[in-house]
Amino acid sequence: METLSTNQAHGGVQGVYRHASAATGTEMTFSVFVPPHAQGARLPVVWYLSGLTCTHANVTEKGEFRRACAELGLIFVAPDTSPRGDGVADDPEGSYDFGLGAGFYVDATQPPFAAHYRMWSYITEELPALVAARFPADLSRQSIMGHSMGGHGALTIGLTFPDRFRAVSAFAPIVAPARVPWGEKALAGYLGEDRSVWRRHDAVALIEDGARLPDLLVDQGDADPFLEEQLRTPLLEDACRAAGQKATIRMQPGYDHSYYFISTFMDEHLRWHGDRLRGA
């Protein structure tokens, strides 16, 4: 693991790191904030998955999470959103919603993407093992959150591994990718045309099929330009209600899809996570 940068913040250390990933077959970059902590203490971990076009840098630079993480004693990990580098396939049309920066947190099975686009394995297996080995992380106390495409990733990973994550939250998530243009394009391109396969990577479908979480927190801005066509928050509300899934899903008046929105509610989300990560 190569250290690209470290900076002191709120008594802790914000670092950016790069390593050779076996899952993706590429170099991957991620950021980690380690709050001040007692010598030898191992701390709970919050994973943050970013949205379309983003890297680790968006939330690291604009998410305003460090003060709360320092106070609450939370390690905050932000991975990239796709593999990158020479030989990594991209959308031949050059669009922003597929290919580089748009891995959708799945393991691709379709050529040419299957060679490198293995973000599910990277996020759920490889990166946690690396973080546990190199940082004072207590993997018995994990939670996950994300934004937009990363909200989709956080919801689907949380629903798949409910015993691993004590808390799951999202900002403006793509809740039903199998029913919206962004998701239909990505899931078909990465996983093929069999829509039954897509259900494992669709939060609404997972809830309909019996997956459950202890609790869920979602914030969505009602001025978000992607709400009606791509995010479709009411589908998640309906699925949770029908399944009896405990959830707090809030429409926030006047907020859009940006980090102005995310940073406004980041502190509240982290405190909600912190409450659930306390204890053995």
Q: How far is 116 from 271, CA to CA, in rounded Å?
A: 35
Instruction: Encode pLDDT of 32-61 as tens digits.
Output: 999 998 777 999 999 999 999 999 999 999
Low pLDDT (below 50) residues in the chain: none
Question: 3-state DSSP helix/strand/coil percent for the chain, to nearest 5?
Answer: 40, 25, 40
Pairing of strands 12-20, 2-9: antiparallel
Quick check: 43 and 140 in contact, CB under 8 A?
no
Residue 129 neighbours by CB distance under 10 Å:
10
Instruction: Encode pLDDT of 141-154 as tens digits.
Output: 999 999 999 999 99
Strand partners, 99: 102
Output the pLDDT for position 280: 59
Question: What is the CATH number assigned to the segment(s) 2-277?
Answer: 3.40.50.1820
Output the pLDDT for position 155: 98
Quick check: 48 and 169 in contact, CB under 8 A?
no
Q: How far is 48 from 79, CA to CA, in rounded Å?
A: 7
Torsion on CA atoms 176, 119, 52, 255, rounded to nearest 10 = 60
Output the pLDDT for position 39: 77
Q: How far is 169 from 173, CA to CA, in rounded Å?
A: 9
Cα Rg of the chain, angstroms: 17
Pairing of strands 75-79, 137-147: unpaired
- Domain residues of the chain, as ranges? 2-277
Output the pLDDT for position 171: 98
Residues 6+ apart with CB under 8 A from 101: 52, 53, 54, 55, 81, 82
Quick check: 225 and 234 in contact, CB under 8 A?
no
Quick check: 145 and 262 in contact, CB under 8 A?
no
Tokens representing 40 are 């030898």
Output the pLDDT for position 148: 98
Catalytic residues: 148, 224, 257
